[in-house]
Structure 1
Amino acid sequence: MAIELMGNQEEEAPLVVADASESETPKNPTRDVHILSCSFLLVFLAYGAAQNLETTVNARGNLGTVTLGILYVSFAVFSLFASLVVRVMGSKNALVLGTTGYWLFIAANLKPTWYTMIPVSLFLGFAASIIWVGEGTYLTSLARNHASDSNLHEGTVIGNFNGEFWAMFALHQFVGNLITLAVLESGADGSTSNKTFLFIVFLCSMTLDAFDHSPCCLFRITASFCMTYVCNFRAEYTKDVVNPTLGEAGVGGAMAVYGAFDAICSLVAGRLTSGLRSITIIVCVGAFFQAVIFIWLSLKYSATGGVLGIVYPLLMAALLGIGDGVLNTQLSALLALLFKHDMEGAFSQLKVWQSSAISAVFFLNPSVTLRTMAMFMLAAIFVSLAPFMYLILKVEKAFSKPNTEDPRRYIHL
């Protein structure tokens, strides 16, 4: 596989401009990052909280688990072609169309049956594939243009832009799950009417955003926010760790903690990103925090009562949020740095592997214990770190050689 490291060819034109008559190159690219980040916060606010509850509120016949498994299989399959779709449609159109899948998913939860959830999950897989490839392509273009125009270090700008985006993205967990906590706590735990009301609230928030005339014009046509693949383990954590001790209402509180730590660490990790060396260190730190949780669950953890029954799930949520915030920002920054002239293909491949892994978790869940799943996830961390470190060593070795500024240089892996 050839990875082009350096090059001087023109960046892809930015996709969000204030007015059609303006130049394609934004005068204030940081403003466009704010717009993109805020739009994703609104769009994913409803879906993130809904996914956290999916395996709990739709537990009958494992509908929720199967729904999410099919969703991520669809996501993986469509991600194989997402780069081509985004090139044909353009990133802006891909982002707008992608939001419709999340709106339909929330609507389907008002009448959760096999006939409503499965078709919508298949479509959402397609929607998710194009919205994430569009996001990665657009954000990277903004960063490169800004670095070039302002004579700034490209790696630092990419890190800062990704840090802001993923921090805002993670806040959807905090806000959405506080809403979940407030609604479900207001009635009897497990109340069908309360769950229905919760999904209506989410649906209304998404619909209202469709009529918003604020600068977040990128997502005016549809609305409110979706897919938090953040951690493959999250749905199992809420079902098997949080729900037994804190109940369904407690899922919202625990995931709000998760979202707060995710947002803070995304922002901090983005600010600390300056290049390949910093990415390596930060990724290893994030992997360590994730590994701590999986070791804990696979060796000693068991549900308990009292104060510890509240503290343990919240502590796990915080550590998972730290790991997720770190890994999201750094993986996106790494792809942006290495795949300069095939951004759509790079982000498409990322989603293929992420969604495949997540779907495997959901399909395995009914047949394995929490401890076994934690051991699988722990093994996955070590397996994934090995090729990552190999890639970094190869890239750093190439940079250490003379004439690495030559745009014709390639690394062959």
Structure 2
Amino acid sequence: MDKSLLNIILLGVAFMFVFTAFQTMSNIQKTITDSIEKEDHSYNGDAYYSQAIIYSFFSIFNWSAPSVISIIGPKFSMFLGGTVYVTFILQFLAPKVWGMYLCSALMGIGAAMIWTGQGNYLTLNSTKKLITRNSGIFWALLQLSMFVGNTFVFFAFKGKDEIDKSTRTLVISTLSAVGIAGLVVLFLLPKAWKEEEDDEEDDVEKINNEGPLKAFTGAVKLFFTSRMCLLSLSFLYTGLELGFFSGIYSSCLGFTKKFENRKELVGISGILMGAGEVIGGGIFGIFGRQTVKWGRDPVVAMGFVLHAIAFGIIFLNLPNDSPFTDTDENAIINSNVYLAILCSFLLGLGDSIYNTQILSLLGTVYSENSAPAFAIFKFSQSIGAVITFISAKSLLLHYQLAILLTMAVVGTLSFIKVEWNTKKQKTLLATETGKNSEALTDSE
């Protein structure tokens, strides 16, 4: 095992621990806050607003993340960001409305640091030939967090219609401890390394030594390029569906009274989402080189089909008012548990396809300018998540699904357009290089 692959595995393990804590908490946050409110009527904190605050601050501070990385580097940016994640979870041990909203804002800042640092560290450890493989390996390890965390929640919530204080304390304490383990791994991450040609190594060094102001202005300029504007539509869609499957869909299952053991179903849903994420990341990690040869466009098109099928089944299977509160309303068909968890799997698998291919594309096209590119990715993605969580308080489920399907079409077509343009440019460059080589041979 070479150093770069070891670094990618350690990065994935660190994120697996941190996001076992956070993604699980995000998945059950609505259930947790509702149970707190039933015991303490003065508590009126709203999980959807909390998530909207997180992603709002995430989007704003993404623009400053490249500047932070230029000063302290990706490793310590990720460590500081991860520390805020653990703080956000710990505040639920002594729940206060102001505490949740304050930590949500701070966590948005931390998210900008950890994710932009992750993209930069991934790129610095990857050659252009191996970026797709490394993206898949990282994504599979990261998404094991959903499988592990939600399996724990399933057993913790088993047989409970209401989540009492002792259960909440056990879950929050355990998740926090796992998050701290992730911080230890982040702190111990080795220096980025890859076997690369000297000129590319020089480019990396030059980028790392840019000043914070130049890093910021570079990110702004990059955002307004035609290619990045197209990609931003794809990024926006991943944010919309991220907000839906990570915070809303599981809540819909927990609120649908037609399901028996509906609180347990929240955990099962998370497990199946995680399984889809891990399988998708694993497949594209193993077959990363083949994906680059075939092109990313058919892979992303497959992700679109999976999500479109999931949205259609959810439309039929869940009550229209299920995002809001406990409901006895009938769905278009009789609500079916197996269809519900099938959709969880499809949402996770489709999400892994979009994200691994985006990571691969950014790491390839922007290999010499990765920090601003990943910051823009997370900026646009977090805007999408904000829209989802804010609209969740007022839009019925069917309207949310209509928006998701529309943006899935737009985001997929935008990604395919960029991929085709990238292939075309690569072909033209290879042709020109061949002609220059022939001309040089003739002159000799």
TM-score range (shorter-chain normalised) is: 0.7 to 0.9
Which of 155, 173, 179 does residue 182 from structure 1 map onto? Answer: 155
Which position in structure 2 is the counterpart of 1:35?
10
Which position in structure 1 is the counterpart of 2:189?
218
Distance in 1, Cα, partners of 2:50 & 2:318: 28
Secondary structure at 1:367 match in 2: coil
Distance in 2, Cα, partners of 1:202 & 1:402: 50
Distance in 1, Cα, partners of 2:144 & 2:97: 31
Which position in structure 2 is the counterpart of 1:289?
306
| Change in CA separation of 1:368 and 1:166 when aligned onto 2, cut-off 3 Å | same
Which position in structure 2 is the counterpart of 1:240?
252
Which position in structure 2 is the counterpart of 1:66?
49
| Change in CA separation of 1:402 and 1:310 when aligned onto 2, cut-off 3 Å | closer
| Between 184-193 and 318-327, the greater mean CA deviation after superposition | 184-193
> 1:238-277: per-residue Cα shift (whole Å, max 9, x none)?
1113442242232112111110121011110233333274
Which of 334, 338, 346 does residue 365 from structure 2 map onto? Answer: 338
**Aligned partner letter, 2:118:** E
How do 1:96-111 and structure 2 match up within 5 A? 96-111=79-94
> Is the 1:39–1:216 Cα contact (8 Å) retained in structure 2?
no
Is the counterpart of residue 265 in structure 1 residue 280 in structure 2?
Answer: yes
Note the residue ranges of structure 2 that are not aligned, 5 or more in a row. Answer: 38-43, 191-237, 320-329, 434-444
| Change in CA separation of 1:50 and 1:404 when aligned onto 2, cut-off 3 Å | farther
**Aligned partner letter, 1:38:** V
RMSD: 2.6
> Is the 2:317–2:340 Cα contact (8 Å) retained in structure 1?
no
**Aligned partner letter, 1:236:** I
Which position in structure 2 is the counterpart of 1:320?
347
| Change in CA separation of 1:330 and 1:276 when aligned onto 2, cut-off 3 Å | farther
Equivalences, count: 361
Task: Determine which structure has more spread, i.e. the larger CA radius of gyration.
Answer: 2
Which position in structure 2 is the counterpart of 1:192?
165
TM-score by length of 1: 0.81
| Change in CA separation of 1:71 and 1:385 when aligned onto 2, cut-off 3 Å | same
Which of 352, 366, 378 does residue 379 from structure 2 map onto? Answer: 352
| Change in CA separation of 1:126 and 1:312 when aligned onto 2, cut-off 3 Å | same
**Aligned partner letter, 1:343:** S
Which of 380, 383, 390 does residue 363 from structure 1 map onto? Answer: 390
Distance in 2, Cα, partners of 1:276 & 1:371: 39
> Is the 2:281–2:352 Cα contact (8 Å) retained in structure 1?
yes
| Change in CA separation of 1:250 and 1:241 when aligned onto 2, cut-off 3 Å | closer
Distance in 2, Cα, partners of 1:391 & 1:271: 24
Percent of pairs with identical residues: 24
Give the structure with the larger helix fraction.
2
How do 1:126-165 and structure 2 match up within 5 A? 126-144=109-127, 154-155=128-129, 157-165=130-138
Note the residue ranges of structure 1 that are not aligned, 5 or more in a row. Answer: 1-25, 145-153, 220-227, 407-413
Distance in 2, Cα, partners of 1:164 & 1:379: 30
Secondary structure at 1:56 match in 2: helix
> 1:271-292: per-residue Cα shift (whole Å, max 9, x none)?
3333274211111111111111
| Change in CA separation of 1:215 and 1:63 when aligned onto 2, cut-off 3 Å | closer
Distance in 1, Cα, partners of 2:378 & 2:83: 19
> Is the 1:189–1:247 Cα contact (8 Å) retained in structure 2?
no
**Aligned partner letter, 1:140:** T
Distance in 1, Cα, partners of 2:57 & 2:431: 40
> Is the 1:243–1:251 Cα contact (8 Å) retained in structure 2?
no
**Aligned partner letter, 1:279:** R
> Is the 1:36–1:165 Cα contact (8 Å) retained in structure 2?
yes
> 1:21-45: per-residue Cα shift (whole Å, max 9, x none)?
xxxxx96221111111111111111
C-alpha deviation, 1:369, in angstroms: 0.5
Which of 351, 372, 390 does residue 417 from structure 2 map onto? Answer: 390
Distance in 1, Cα, partners of 2:72 & 2:146: 30
Secondary structure at 1:218 match in 2: coil
C-alpha deviation, 1:47, in angstroms: 0.8
